[in-house]
Amino acid sequence: MNRRSFVKQAAMTSASVALALDARAQTEPKPAAQTSAMPRGKIGKLEVSRLILGGNLLTHYTHSRDLQYVYNLAAHYNTDEKIMETLAAAEANGINTVSMHNPPHPISVLRRYRKERGGKIQWIICPTAPVEPGLAQYREHVEELIKDGCEAIYLWGVHADSLAAQGKFDLMAEAVELPKQFGVPSGVGGHALEVVQACEEHGVKADFYIKTFHHHSYPTGPKPEQLTAPYNEFPGYWCKNPPETVEVMKSVKKPWIAFKTMAAGAIPPKNAFRYAFHNGADFVLAGMFDYEIEEDVKTAQETFAASRERTRPWFA
């Protein structure tokens, strides 16, 4: 190869690489310009979209009842790249917040989305470390999340259910106060309504609640005889007594994020969102695949607009 042919070949190679890099840049998911005016509310100083992206599908915890293959199906679909595409789609449609627990790998994907793709979506995260006297491991998780820029933290519902059942209200209060030391809102999650009641009664100063909420009018909903058993013994539902939840939450003057509103896919979004907003929820936390986001956002916007008159005032 002489000098002239070498220069020609090098130029062609450089052009090919540039074209390949440009094509890759065009296909990488990036936060798009917001196309939807999603209503928002405030939790402390944090401005949060009324529809929040749930993290269970992103962490592959699909709660698919006895359909075990769905876990692997979600894991194969929601790859790291697809998760970042989902986050970008959420932002493009006006959702500015994602909420999930903190398994290491999914959190690393959220981190990558911010650092590599310029993502701005806010995090509301629940640490899964044990809540034990001294809060040593729990503090580690909280500090790691704060270091990553997490905007709000809440006590995981699994922990809160257990602590409330055991009467460990002082420990709940300590766990809730910890994130406040770092200047971020701190809430409490719960499947059992007793969690919210205990916090209100015993002075646990949660800034917000994340409480399950959905009706029972779906085929796999609980039967009356099942309602005397612990909530977690029946995988088809996560809100044991919806009417009682409505009544209790009327007196709770703090923002309420309703989750499990679709009973893990058993209730259509339009039905679920209307039930949640109309009956007092300030926000709806919904697990969504990327291809569902645009339609769900439109549904949430329409439902929110039609839910101005309700028995519980807006607290966010």
State which residues of the chain have pLDDT below 50.
3-4, 6-8, 10-25, 32-35
Instruction: Determine the pLDDT at residue 236.
Output: 56
Q: Residue 22 belongs to what H/E stretch?
A: helix 3-27
Instruction: Determine the pLDDT at residue 258.
Output: 98
Do the Cβ atoms of 173 and 204 come closer than 8 Å?
yes
Instruction: Determine the pLDDT at residue 20.
Output: 45
All domains of the chain in start order, with CATH:
49-305 (3.20.20.100)
CA–CA distance, 240 with 200 (Å, rounded to integer): 19
Instruction: Determine the pLDDT at residue 237.
Output: 62
Instruction: Determine the pLDDT at residue 29.
Output: 55
Instruction: Determine the pLDDT at residue 9.
Output: 53
Q: Residue 276 belongs to what H/E stretch?
A: helix 269-278
